[in-house]
């Protein structure tokens, strides 16, 4: 009888106690769904990418020839947004002030008022810093004077045919089947003038520092394109305020020649052929300075 009672007590005791495996299952809870895990991982990646592109670096692309032969049309490059970050500079962080010769990316004024300078900002531009706050800049022909002294040149370009012009010309012609007459011009003398009115051109209405000294305001920078004959820059829309500067151009991460001939292969092989043929492989990792 006693033996029977002991067995019943052991059974009831075992039913009321949980083993180590049961305790682990209760602590871990029900298994999470695969969809939830993907969502949480994606959210973490998104937050990290947002932080990186907001405060550290971002990618940008060059749409014009104003910085040739330093930067080409179709260059995709990385912008260091941290180097010029406002606030106190820590000795252990890679921060510094903007220097002459820096290639900077900045917000371009989409609307300019002659009395109140810069009003609204939308488009990103890239130019080289030639004048610092408080300096006096003057442009005489091909020469740039800073406080009356010639500016040390960083780049000298002499291009007969620029890539942007080749790309524009490509839009005006098409290939024919005959080798003797490979191209046909779309425009006639009657339509060329009206068509030309819609083509982009570089403004030559310089208002700042051309042939007369101009003192750069505090916290502003005078910027110019390396390809000065084909560049709208501070000579047109004035100095760039410090708070419009996004960062410093670092290096090329990809470069694509849009003006190069495109493949006639069927889809999707034409995209692959264009990528392989029109990518400027030698531009990868090129430092922009």
Task: Evaluate whether residue 230 is within a structural domain.
Answer: yes
Q: Residue 236: its pLDDT value, please?
A: 87
Task: Evaluate whether residue 20 is within a structural domain.
Answer: no
Give the pLDDT confidence of 26-55 residue by residue, as tens digits: 445 555 677 777 677 776 666 665 555 555
Task: Evaluate whether residue 204 is within a structural domain.
Answer: no
Q: Residue 127: its pLDDT value, please?
A: 92
Task: Evaluate whether residue 47 is within a structural domain.
Answer: no
CATH code, 86: 2.10.109.10
| pLDDT-above-90 percentage for the chain | 16
Cα–Cα distance between 194 and 187 in angstroms, integer? Answer: 10
Question: Given its phi and psi angles, is residue 205 left (phi above 0), alpha (psi -120 to 50 degrees) or beta?
Answer: beta
DSSP category for residue 266: P
Q: Residue 176: its pLDDT value, please?
A: 41
Task: Evaluate whether residue 235 is within a structural domain.
Answer: yes
Cα–Cα distance between 264 and 271 in angstroms, integer? Answer: 10
Q: Residue 263: its pLDDT value, please?
A: 80
Q: Residue 137: its pLDDT value, please?
A: 94
Higher-confidence position of 226 and 218: 218
Quick one: pLDDT band at residue 187, thresholds 50, 70, 90? very low
Q: Residue 103: its pLDDT value, please?
A: 93
Give the pLDDT confidence of 100-159 residue by residue, as tens digits: 999 999 987 655 444 444 434 457 888 999 999 999 999 887 789 999 999 876 544 433
Most confident among 67-81, 162-176, 230-244 (mean pLDDT)? 230-244
Task: Evaluate whether residue 26 is within a structural domain.
Answer: no
Query: What's the domain range around 250?
Result: 55-158+217-289
Task: Evaluate whether residue 207 is within a structural domain.
Answer: no
- Residue 171 pLDDT greater than 90, yes or no: no
Q: Strand pairing partners for 254? A: 76
* Edge-first strand listing for the sheet containing 245-255: 57-61, 75-80, 245-255, 103-113, 117-131, 220-224, 240-241
Distinct helix (H) and strand (E) counts, the chain: 7, 13
- Residue 79 pLDDT greater than 70, yes or no: yes
Give the pLDDT confidence of 220-241 residue by residue, as tens digits: 999 998 887 778 889 888 899 9
Give the pLDDT confidence of 236-285 residue by residue, as tens digits: 888 999 989 989 998 898 898 888 888 887 778 888 888 888 899 999 88
What global pTM score does this model have? 0.61
Task: Evaluate whether residue 61 is within a structural domain.
Answer: yes
Give the total number of structural domains in the chain. Answer: 1
């Amino acid at each position: 009888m006693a033996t029977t009672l002991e067995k019943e007590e052991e059974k009831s005791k075992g039913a009321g106690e949980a083993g180590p495996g049961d305790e682990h299952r209760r602590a871990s809870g029900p298994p999470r769904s695969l969809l939830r895990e993907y969502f949480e991982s994606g959210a973490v990646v998104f937050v990290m990418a947002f932080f990186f592109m907001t405060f550290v670096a971002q990618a940008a692309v060059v749409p014009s020839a104003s910085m040739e032969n330093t930067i080409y049309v179709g260059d995709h490059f990385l912008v260091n947004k941290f180097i010029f970050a406002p606030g106190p500079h820590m000795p252990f962080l890679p921060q510094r002030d903007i220097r002459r010769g820096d290639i900077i990316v900045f917000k371009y004024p989409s609307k300019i008022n002659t009395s109140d300078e810069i009003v609204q900002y939308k488009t990103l531009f890239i130019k080289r810093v030639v004048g610092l706050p408080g300096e006096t800049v003057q442009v005489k022909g091909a020469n740039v004077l800073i406080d009356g002294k010639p500016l040390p040149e960083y780049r000298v370009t002499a291009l007969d045919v620029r890539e942007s012009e080749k790309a524009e010309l490509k839009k005006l012609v098409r290939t024919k089947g005959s080798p003797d007459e490979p191209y046909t011009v779309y425009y006639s003398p009657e339509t060329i003038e009206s068509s030309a009115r819609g083509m982009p051109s570089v403004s030559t209405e310089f208002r700042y520092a051309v042939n007369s000294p101009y003192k750069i305001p505090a916290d502003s920078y005078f910027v110019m394109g390396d390809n000065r004959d084909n560049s709208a820059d501070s000579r047109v829309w004035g100095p760039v305020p410090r708070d419009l500067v996004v960062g410093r151009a670092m290096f090329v991460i990809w470069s694509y020649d849009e003006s190069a001939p495109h493949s006639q292969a069927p889809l999707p092989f034409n995209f692959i052929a264009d990528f392989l043929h029109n990518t400027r492989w030698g531009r990868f990792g090129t430092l922009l300075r």
